[in-house]
Amino acid sequence: MNKTPKAHNARQSGSAMLHLKLVAASAALSLAILSVGCAAAIPDAAAAAALASRLANDKCKEIYKREPFDPELYRARFLEGRWNWGEYDPAGPEGFSAEVSFARDGSDAQVQIHFSTDIEDWGDSEDDVEKDWGPTDEYESSE
């Protein structure tokens, strides 16, 4: 049990270094868990609508070379743990509509773009568009 002061100090400094390394590793692990577990949530419907319209415009631009969506076009709703924005709408801007959903933090985005040719202003004039597409009372046979 004869310990020299030099050996005792070396053991203490090694122990202190190990303790500092454990504290640093623990702090790094805690920070990693916090950053993964607490991703920034979309704060409100306006922010969700802004993100959704940007995602919809990005996809629409990729497919159709158009960006017709404004955040105010649809109301963002938080349902079952996801933000939802848009709907199938044949009368949407330029015939486009979008359905967008994503997780609370904006991840796992799902975007669908719809294009409808069932709009009245696609022709050169109103004469180019038949307005009565419903069933008729008369049946014309081709016999």
Interval 19-69: pLDDT, tens: 444 444 444 433 333 334 446 899 999 999 999 999 999 999 999 999 999
Residue 22 and residue 85 in one domain: no
Question: Given a cut of 80, is residue 83 above it in pLDDT?
Answer: yes
pLDDT at 50: 98
pLDDT at 12: 55
pLDDT at 9: 53
Closest CA to 39 of 110, 108, 102, 107: 107
Q: 139 lies in a domain?
A: no
Residue 26 and residue 75 in one domain: no
Sign of CA dihedral 10, 12, 18, 24: negative
Residue 65 and residue 115 in one domain: yes
CA distance 7 to 90: 83
Q: What is the pTM of this model?
A: 0.57
What is the count of structural domains for the chain? 2
Residue 33 and residue 72 in one domain: no
Residue 26 and residue 57 in one domain: no
Residue 34 and residue 49 in one domain: no
In which domain, by residue range, is 108 found? 45-122
- pLDDT, tens digit, 9 for 90 and up, residues 117-132: 865 554 444 444 443 3
> Is residue 96 within 8 Å of 112, Cβ to Cβ?
no
